Amino acid sequence: MPEGDTLFRTARTLGRAFSGTVLTGFRTQLAPLAAWNDQHPVAGQTVERIESRGKWLLMFFSGGSVLLTHLRMNGSWHVYRRGERWRAPGHAMRIVLENAAWQAVGFSVPVAEVISLHDLDRDRRIPRPEIDVLRPEFDAVAAVARIRAHPEEAIADVLLDQSVLAGVGNEFKSEICFACAVNPFAPIAALSDAHISEIVGTARRMVRENIIEDSPETTVTYRGLGRRTRHASDPRERVWVYGRAGETCRQCGSIIERRLQGPDARISFWCPQCQPVSSN
């Protein structure tokens, strides 16, 4: 599922193909975007830059508008050379951007809207750069304070709060808790500042390790390799606990457990031996 690492890689790839270029075409199946294009034609505008903030993708246009997209569970952006065959069905197309050499296609994008630069600064849905674990502006000390501000909430729920740590999703959540030996249901009040600081550092490290690429010239938006939170050569051993309920813990041999958690009933995975509630 798209998390901060996916959006970062997508923005990086789209940026290589489109940043600084003049758009030659725009199509969309979404009525609000079509209306925007009627009033402010996209063709002829320059893409100034493309960036990710947490789970949001932002495309900045020379006309002063910003295209926001959120992929949620199933959306994706693909980049193709002009004339190249799409690798997803045409009926899933929602947005197409074109320049002289490339075509960007947003498939099954559930959230897409255009706002002004002025409104972007005031939009509370879009994380500020210092909250995004992948941005150089990320402030770890402030992140610890934001987590500490939720004393009664479980650590796994707080990690998913994009106003606290933007870019951490459900898979990373379980992996971070395991790596820091913290039970996902432990309340923030039960954790020391040192432990919270370790969690913040681990979150940033894990997400960053999943944006490293083999070639700086790649134009692939999806690696197809799956996230890695372990340094294991076997791809079947790429994670510690996520998706491994009923299997043995790679560290102690206990059986990995799973349970729905939080107001959105997201699944948490953990090892009862390595992450006991009593240790937190």
pLDDT, one tens digit per residue, over 253-280 is 999 999 999 888 999 999 999 999 854 3
- What value does the mean pLDDT take over residues 163-168? 96
Average pLDDT, the chain: 91
Instruction: Provide the annotated active-site residues.
Output: 2-3, 55, 266
- DSSP secondary structure, the chain, as one string: ---HHHHHHHHHHHHHHHTT-B--EEEES-HHHHHHHHHS--TT-BEEEEEEETTEEEEEETTSEEEEEE-TTT-EEEEEETTPPPSS-GGGEEEEEE-SSEEEEEES--EEEEEEHHHHHH-TTSPPGGGBTTSTT--HHHHHHHHHT-TTSBHHHHHT-TTTSBT--HHHHHHHHHHTT--TT-BGGGS-HHHHHHHHHHHHHHHHHTS--S-TT---S--SS---SS--SSGGGS-SSTT-TTSBPTTT-PBPEEEEETTTTEEEEE-TTTS-GGG-
- The CATH classification number of 4-126 equals 3.20.190.10
Q: CATH: 1.10.8.50, 3.40.50.10800, 3.40.30.10, 3.20.20.70. Which one for 130-279?
A: 1.10.8.50
pLDDT, one tens digit per residue, over 79-105 is 999 999 999 999 999 999 999 999 999
pTM of the predicted model as reported, rounded to 2 decimal places:
0.88
Name the residue ranges covered by the structural domains of the chain.
Answer: 4-126, 130-279
